[in-house]
């Protein structure tokens, strides 16, 4: 897909027994309830998507990332309610508290812990700052891959990852101009260049490069730098993913994204036809509410 592509940058994520699809003006969640019926939740996207900042390069990365996290938490809550029959809502202060706690755990595990280990290695192994920063980056990458692999061994998460594969297949089929039936969609790849997994890997690799350039730092300065530079890294990662997705006709780009696509095989599984039916239902419900320019 090139910059002149007629396709909007649709995205989504897997939820509990379902899929969320996000368009340019609408979001839809399709889920199987305990009776095996498909339930649809659809709503328009918030005013954020009409804000001028959403079109500003680099700044839009932070805005889109935060909104994706908020939408993701709400979507998972809605899908969980569908399975339990309850109507617990996460909104307002509770939603933002949940988001802050989730971000805090992620930053602590994948950024501060490796930074502390890198600092300790420089001190006790008597290695230079460059090697310490490199070791920090490798630990960060290992934690990411190890964490994804470990959670992927859980039966419930395997089903979520299969729905993730269904989401990718559906968008791939749509972008290929195929009819969206489960049988047709099943022929497409579980890989997609705009996947959040690709974003995470890009973020980790960029952090290795940037933090290696910072040189030796005192312990607390090192910890603070990992937090302060994270939004900057996220912006670059977002723009990189957007750029590669828009230039897939380039042989160089196809080579560059191979590691990201390979990592996606840890976060996706081959879905069943009934899972694809759910994903297609979410996509169609989202598309129905889209106002597509002629």
- The pLDDT of residue 64 is 77
pLDDT band at 108 (very low <50, low <70, confident <90, very high): very high
Mean pLDDT of 169-187: 96
Is the pLDDT reported for residue 51 higher than 90?
A: no
Q: Where are the domains of the chain?
A: 11-288
From 74, 95, 77, 94, select the one nearest 86 (Cα to Cα).
77
Is the pLDDT reported for residue 201 higher than 70?
A: yes
- The pLDDT of residue 103 is 86
The reported pTM is 0.88
- The pLDDT of residue 279 is 97
Tell me the pLDDT tens digit for each residue of 210-233: 998 888 899 999 999 999 999 999
Return the HEC string of 220-283: HHHHHHHHHCHHHHHHHHHHHHHHHHCCCCCHHHHHHCHHHHHHHHHHCCCCCHHHHHHHHHHH
Is the pLDDT reported for residue 167 higher than 50?
A: yes
Tell me the pLDDT tens digit for each residue of 4-49: 445 677 889 999 999 999 988 899 999 999 999 999 999 888 766 6
> Average model confidence (pLDDT) for the chain?
88
* Under 8 Å between Cβ of 181 and 100: no
């Amino acid at each position: 897909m090139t910059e002149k592509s007629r396709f909007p940058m649709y995205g989504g994520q897997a939820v509990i027994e379902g899929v969320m699809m996000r368009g340019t003006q609408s979001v839809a969640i399709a889920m199987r309830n305990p009776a095996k019926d498909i339930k649809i939740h659809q709503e328009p996207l918030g005013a954020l998507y009409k804000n001028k900042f959403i079109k500003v390069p680099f700044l839009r990365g932070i805005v889109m990332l935060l909104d994706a996290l908020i939408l993701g938490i709400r979507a998972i809550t809605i899908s969980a309610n569908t399975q339990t029959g309850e109507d617990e809502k996460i909104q307002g202060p509770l939603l933002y508290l949940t988001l802050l706690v989730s971000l805090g755990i992620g930053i602590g595990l994948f950024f501060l812990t490796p930074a502390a280990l890198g600092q300790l290695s420089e001190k006790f192994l008597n290695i230079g700052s460059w090697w310490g920063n490199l070791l920090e980056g490798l630990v960060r990458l290992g934690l990411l891959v190890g964490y994804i692999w470990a959670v992927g061994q859980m039966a419930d998460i395997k089903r979520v990852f299969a729905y993730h594969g269904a989401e990718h297949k559906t968008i791939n089929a749509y972008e290929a101009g195929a009819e969206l039936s489960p049988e047709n969609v099943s022929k497409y790849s579980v890989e997609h260049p705009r996947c959040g997994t690709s974003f995470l890997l890009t973020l980790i690799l960029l952090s290795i490069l940037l933090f290696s350039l910072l040189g030796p730092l005192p312990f607390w300065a090192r910890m603070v730098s990992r937090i302060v530079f994270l939004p900057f890294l996220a912006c670059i990662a977002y723009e990189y993913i957007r750029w590669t997705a828009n230039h897939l006709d380039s042989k160089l780009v196809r080579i560059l994204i191979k590691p990201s696509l390979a990592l996606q095989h840890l976060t996706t599984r081959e879905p069943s036809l009934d899972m694809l039916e759910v994903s297609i239902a979410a996509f169609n419900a989202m598309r129905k509410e889209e106002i597509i320019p002629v």
